[in-house]
Amino acid sequence: MYIRISDKSQKQDSQRAEILAWLNAHGHNTETVQWFSDTDTGAHIGRSGMIALNEAIFLGSIKTVVVWKLDRIARNMKDGINSLSTWCESGVRVVSVTQQIDLSGTVGHLVAGVLFAVAEMELQHIRERQAAGIKAAKDKGVYTGRKRGTTKAKPERAQELHAQGLKQKEIANALNISESTVARYLKASVTEQK
């Protein structure tokens, strides 16, 4: 079972309750279920819970993935479809309880593709509205940007990933920041060490 919430202010309880209700209704032993969860954006796939779930699928210990809603897997079509394709090729059944979708067949795969396209479109609309709101605030002189010293991701995390051998593009994808921000974080690290 996979649960994802976007930030720590949210709770997993409602997702867990609906998944448990589905499991009970379909005769699954809830004592033997493996739970994987993330507290992170769905915009990138390199989340620790998702990585652990993929490893368990690869090892063959997971045969069914149940999610509250398909956009918990990913918020963009490419990552979502790639994950589902990989899982389905491995013989894994994927169920979305609130959408009442069982992706165990060809029609299920088609439906998943459409739903991920809608989720990605929704995310793009959110970004467009945010950009329009920022522009309007700037035009009024209200918006001055992010406060100095705040970051979208922790520079230390970028440095850790770089030390593990990841390239700047991979770090940018993992942290959901731009490559130029990664370069700035890494440059600051080198400057601090001197």
CA dist., res. 40 & res. 46, Å (int): 10
What was the pLDDT predicted at 173? 77
Mean pLDDT of the chain: 80
Which CATH class for the 2-116 domain? Answer: alpha beta
What was the pLDDT predicted at 38? 82
Residue 100 pLDDT level (bands cut at 50, 70, 90):
confident
Q: Residue 108: CB partners within 8 Å, gap ≥ 6?
A: 94, 101, 102
Q: Please indicate whether residue 43 or residue 162 has the higher confidence score (pLDDT).
A: 162
Q: How many CA atoms lie within 13 A of 193 on its CB side?
A: 8
Is 6 labeled as catalytic in the residue annotation?
yes
Q: Which of 6, 48, 61, 83 is catalytic?
A: 6
What was the pLDDT predicted at 193? 58
What was the pLDDT predicted at 7? 64
What was the pLDDT predicted at 168? 85
Q: Which two tokens stand for residue 42?
A: 């769905």
What was the pLDDT predicted at 9? 62
Q: In this prediction, what percent of the chain has a pLDDT beyond 70?
A: 83
pLDDT (average), residues 53-61 = 87
Single out the residue of 106, 107, 103 nearest to residue 84, CA to CA. 103
Lowest mean pLDDT among 69-73, 89-93, 109-113: 109-113
103-135: per-residue pLDDT in tens? 776 766 677 667 767 777 877 888 888 888 888
Cβ(167)–Cβ(186) under 8 Å?
no
CA dist., res. 186 & res. 155, Å (int): 8
Cβ(175)–Cβ(162) under 8 Å?
no
- Name the residue ranges covered by the structural domains of the chain: 2-116, 155-193
pLDDT (average), residues 44-55 = 82
Q: Please indicate whether residue 105 or residue 54 has the higher confidence score (pLDDT).
A: 54
Single out the residue of 44, 42, 87, 41 nearest to residue 66, CA to CA. 87
Residue 151 pLDDT level (bands cut at 50, 70, 90):
low
